[in-house]
Amino acid sequence: MLNYQVNLGQNFINYLITGNNIIMIEKIKNFMLKPIKVSYKDRSDYTPIENFILNPIILALLVFLVTYQAFSLNDDVKPSASDAALSNAMIYFEKGDFDNAVLQLESVVDNFSGSKAAHQAKFYLGRTAFINGNNDKALVYLSESVSKMRYDNLKKEGYIMLAELENDTKMFDKAMKFTESDNEIKYISILKAKKLAQNGDLIQSMKLLESLDADNPAYNQFFEEVYGFVLSIN
């Protein structure tokens, strides 16, 4: 078996935070410019929902937030074992080592049951399973973790995935409660309209689409795709 446990010595902790003497702001910039993935799946094969939940900026910030909360730059603050283990998994994601990332997340769930880190680990396991098409596993992990997430953006993404997995359009409404971005709300509305149409509720689907600004460049291409889809089955 591959050795997926990462040495948590102070020198390695410092490396995770500073990136071999790269200051924190540069570390964030690097995440932004070279976003992480959570799957071996090629990005060109992602569905609209997958593209939304795998927003590069959001993923970059997640790695930063999880790493920063686990390892303080203040030498007097000791990371908890659960947060340290969770941070290791996110580093594996950053490196593109998805197999070891999943192993590390599963280790967090098994060894730190009930902790905040375990809830987050379940969320990341659920999201990874969702992207890779393992819907049964994704549903189990996400159902157990979404409501316990500390960050609104994770709750938003989680409810979007649950809407797809449970075939429940009400989950899209829950997702909208965790964003203040009007464009994101409209994008989620388009996802909801598509799901309504797939479930046979063409009237409500079209009504929802016609309430949106079709020319908004933030989502007009996706709007046109879904609008055409609804018309094709009307």
- Which pLDDT tens digit goes with each residue over 151-168? 888 899 899 999 999 999
Whether residue 156 is found in the same domain as residue 232: no
pLDDT, residue 50, reads: 57
* Residues 69-102 pLDDT 10s: 544 444 444 457 888 888 888 888 777 788 888 9
Q: Does 47 or 125 have the greater pLDDT score?
A: 125
C-alpha distances in Å from residue 184, one per residue of 47, 134, 177, 191:
16, 26, 11, 11
Total of domains in the chain = 2
Higher-confidence residue of 215 and 13: namely: 215
| Residue 108 shares a structural domain with residue 204 | no
Report the pLDDT value the prediction gives residue 161, as an integer from 0 to 100.
93
Flag whether 91 is in a domain.
yes
CA 105 to chain centre: 14
d(CA 170, CA 75): 46
Assign 186 a pLDDT band (cuts: 50, 70, 90).
very high
Structure tokens at 108: 């967090």
Higher pLDDT, 143 or 58: 143
138 and 215: one domain?
no
127 and 175 share one domain? yes
> Residue 231 is part of which domain span?
181-234
Q: How high does pLDDT run on average in the chain? A: 75
Six-digit token string for 194: 């598509």
Model confidence band, residue 17 (pLDDT cutoffs 50, 70, 90):
very low
Angle, helices 56-70 vs 152-166, to 10°: value is: 120
3-state secondary structure labels for all residues of 66-124: HHHHHCCCCCCCCCCHHHHHHHHHHHHHHHCCHHHHHHHHHHHHHHCCCCHHHHHHHHH
Q: Is 155 within a domain?
A: yes
- Residue reference for tokens 């060894």: 111
CA distance linking residue 132 with residue 40, whole number of Å: 8
Same domain as 125, residue 217: no
Residues 6+ apart with CB under 8 A from 168: 162
> By the 8 A CB rule, do 146 and 130 touch?
no
The confidence band for 54, taking pLDDT boundaries of 50, 70 and 90, is low
Do 160 and 194 sit in the same domain of this protein? no
The predicted structure's pLDDT at residue 22: 37
Q: Do residues 166 and 139 lie in contact, with contact meaning Cβ atoms separated by under 8 Å?
A: yes
